[in-house]
């Protein structure tokens, strides 16, 4: 069953933990996730406001996957460090 699990998420990827924490604070003050992703994210998904679409368990690096498939949905989690940088991750849904 674990391999068939699907989810959709969006993220903001930045180079430093400090920048990720600053963006998380701004999100907490009500700033728009998509707008911040378009402005600050270093991932190509920034064009779509950080939207990664739907993917399966195991499709992303482990630290990212663990947040998407184990943490609460519709909340911003992070910073999560991967080989790509620091992510703020919001899981939209998962089955």
12-70 pLDDT tens trace: 999 999 999 999 999 999 999 999 999 999 999 999 999 999 999 999 999 999 999 99
CB 14, CB 23: distance < 8 Å: yes
Spatial CA neighbour of 11 closest among 31, 27, 34, 29: 34
Distance of CA 42 to the CA centre of its chain: 12
Q: pTM of the predicted model, to two decimals?
A: 0.94
CB 91, CB 8: distance < 8 Å: yes
Domains of the chain: 2-94 (3.10.50.40)
51-62 pLDDT tens trace: 999 999 999 999
């Amino acid at each position: 069953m674990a391999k068939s699990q699907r989810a959709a998420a969006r993220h903001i990827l930045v180079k430093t933990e400090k920048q990720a924490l600053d963006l998380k604070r701004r999100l907490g003050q009500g700033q728009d996730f998509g707008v911040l992703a378009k402005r600050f994210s270093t991932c190509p998904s920034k064009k779509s406001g950080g939207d990664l679409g739907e993917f399966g368990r195991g499709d992303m690096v482990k630290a990212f996957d663990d947040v998407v498939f184990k943490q609460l949905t519709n909340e911003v989690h992070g910073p999560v460090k991967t080989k790509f940088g620091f992510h703020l991750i919001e899981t939209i849904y998962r089955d």
